[in-house]
Amino acid sequence: MEVPAFLRNGKILIAVFAVLATVSAAGAILAIGGGTEELLLGLGGGLVAAGATIGTYLFSVRAGHPHSHAVAWAGTIFGTVLLIAVVAELLRSSGELAELQIAGGLAGGVGITLVILALIGVVDRYTSPA
């Protein structure tokens, strides 16, 4: 089966996947009984995750990394954002910590993760063959 010509354009393909992901996320949130607040939080979080993932991929490609490395970096960032969202929701729903404590702890975790990823990038840059 041949892929339609308009789907061969990378930008159009990304837009199609973005629309499908948004509709799927909204449907899932509404199906489990979420209201307007949950829908807005879910879609806002999705935009942050998408922006971080696409931005990481584009930055990696522009920095000269091969496509496979750029995809790996983007996948790592997406997984990190997803993990942060799950941990934040679990901590928030437990009621044991204040919102500021949760935000501070997660911000510290994100900072440490970014430092580790940057160090991995530096090691990769200086140890890869020219």
* pTM confidence score: 0.61
> Read out DSSP for the chain?
-PPPGGGGSHHHHHHHHHHHHHHHHHHHHHHTT--HHHHHHHHHHHHHHHHHHHHHHHHHHHTT--HHHHHHHHHHHHHHHHHHHHHHHHHHHH-SS-HHHHHHHHHHHHHHHHHHHHHHHHHHHHHS--
Q: What does the pLDDT read at residue 53?
A: 83
- Please report the pLDDT score of residue 7 as a whole number: 66
Domain, as residue range, for 96: 5-127
Greater confidence (87 vs 130) lies with 87
**Residue at token pair 């991929």:** 57
15-46 pLDDT per residue, tens: 777 787 778 878 887 887 778 887 887 788 77
pLDDT at res. 82: 79
What are the pLDDT digits (tens) for 56-105?
888 888 888 888 888 888 888 888 887 887 787 788 778 888 878 888 88
Residue with tokens 């995809």: 71
Look at residue 108 in the predicted model and tell me its pLDDT: 85
How many domains are there within the chain?
A: 1
Q: Which residues fall within 8 angstroms of residue 6, CB to CB, at 6 or more apart? A: 12
| Region of residue 18 (phi > 0: left; psi between -120 and 50: alpha; otherwise: beta) | alpha
